[in-house]
């Protein structure tokens, strides 16, 4: 399944995206430091199920332009809504991983006419609430790698984080994709964008959680190294939304990228969620 890269010109820069399939629109956004190829396994399953799937590179990432003036979750939420409107497929489902999970939260809270549901994968949506008892070696290792990569703008440290974030079995193409991602991050301006996102506060997304006006699904890997207790974090994100608005799907054995590590299970969870919303 191939798609031609397209571009959306906004006032502050250019977003790269592609579209495959026909049907209701789903917009898939990766996390910071990642590119839209992160959804290379999930997209075909969604297209086969009858959806039109757009995958997009975040500002400063992938084939999108560099030099954006800011890189907050609110900024990215605006980018995603702009893409939905550009594609004329709204209201759309926004799927956001990690940093983009927070952006999806803001989009759903502020633009319910453009967003009919959200799926948040390993979402960076709340300010960390980490106590001394939470400081396991795994968590400290992950935080050190992310922080070091952001502060030093270090591609090697980011590569080490990527290996940590895929515990257990990895995709067959993991090393090839990681090499391509590393090469992309060495382009001028790419690590600056990663750094800006990594060092930004999720407070804007957390504040938007009570105002989410559409159905939501929180997908979390049981071995996600970014959180002391992945299940507790997923349930806390869901509980912060209006009562009955959000559901949680835990992906057994997955790390921070279940959409690439266990795409069949994630696809099944998303399609079940979307099917329930269609029948509602």
pLDDT value, residue 66 = 98
- The answer to whether the beta carbons of residues 120 and 105 sit under 8 Å apart is yes
**Which residues, 6 or more positions from 214, have their beta carbon under 8 angstroms from its beta carbon?**
91, 108, 112, 115, 116, 117, 118, 245
Query: Model confidence over 110-158: pLDDT tens digits?
Result: 999 999 999 999 999 998 776 667 667 778 888 899 999 999 999 999 9
pLDDT value, residue 132 = 66
Q: What distance in Å separates the CA atoms of residue 130 and residue 226, rounded to the nearest whole number?
A: 11
pLDDT value, residue 276 = 82
The mean pLDDT value of the chain amounts to: 94
| Percent of the residues in the chain that have a pLDDT greater than 70, as a whole number | 96
pLDDT value, residue 131 = 66
Query: Model confidence over 33-92: pLDDT tens digits?
Result: 999 999 999 999 999 999 999 999 999 999 999 999 999 999 999 999 999 999 997 799
| Contacts of 40-44 spanning 24+ positions with Cβ under 8 A | 40/260, 41/171, 41/259, 41/260, 41/263, 42/259, 42/260, 42/263, 42/266, 42/267, 42/270, 43/1, 44/1
- pLDDT of 193 > 60? The answer is yes
| Percent of the residues in the chain that have a pLDDT greater than 90, as a whole number | 89
- pLDDT of 175 > 80? The answer is yes
Identify the structural domains of the chain with CATH numbers, from first to last.
6-279 (3.40.50.1820)
Buried b (16+ CB within 10 A) or exposed e, 48-87: ebebbbbbbbbbbbbbbbeebeebbbbbbbbbbbebbebb
């Amino acid at each position: 399944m191939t798609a031609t890269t397209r571009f959306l010109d906004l006032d502050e820069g250019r977003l790269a995206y592609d579209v495959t399939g026909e049907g209701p629109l789903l917009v898939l956004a990766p996390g910071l430091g990642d590119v839209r190829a992160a959804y290379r396994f999930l997209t075909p399953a969604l297209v086969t199920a009858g959806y039109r799937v757009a995958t997009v590179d975040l500002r400063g990432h992938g084939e999108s332009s560099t030099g954006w003036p800011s890189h907050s979750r609110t900024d990215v939420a605006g980018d995603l809504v702009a893409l939905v409107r550009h594609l004329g497929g709204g209201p759309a489902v926004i799927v956001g991983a990690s940093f983009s999970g927070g952006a999806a939260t803001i989009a759903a809270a502020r633009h319910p006419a453009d967003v009919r549901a959200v799926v948040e994968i390993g979402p960076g949506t709340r300010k960390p609430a980490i106590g001394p008892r939470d400081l396991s070696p795994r968590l400290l290792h992950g935080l050190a790698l992310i922080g070091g990569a952001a502060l030093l703008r270090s591609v090697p440290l980011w590569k080490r984080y990527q290996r940590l974030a895929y515990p257990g079995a990895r995709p067959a193409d993991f090393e090839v994709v990681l090499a391509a991602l590393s090469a992309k991050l060495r382009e001028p301006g790419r690590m600056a964008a990663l750094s800006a996102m990594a060092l930004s506060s999720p407070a804007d997304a957390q504040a938007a959680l009570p105002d989410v006006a559409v159905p939501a699904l929180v997908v979390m890997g049981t071995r996600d190294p970014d959180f002391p207790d992945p299940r507790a974090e997923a349930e806390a994100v869901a509980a912060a939304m209006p009562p009955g608005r959000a559901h949680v799907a835990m992906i057994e054995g997955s790390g921070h990228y279940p959409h690439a590590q266990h795409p069949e299970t994630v696809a099944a969870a998303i399609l079940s969620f979307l099917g329930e919303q269609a029948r509602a």
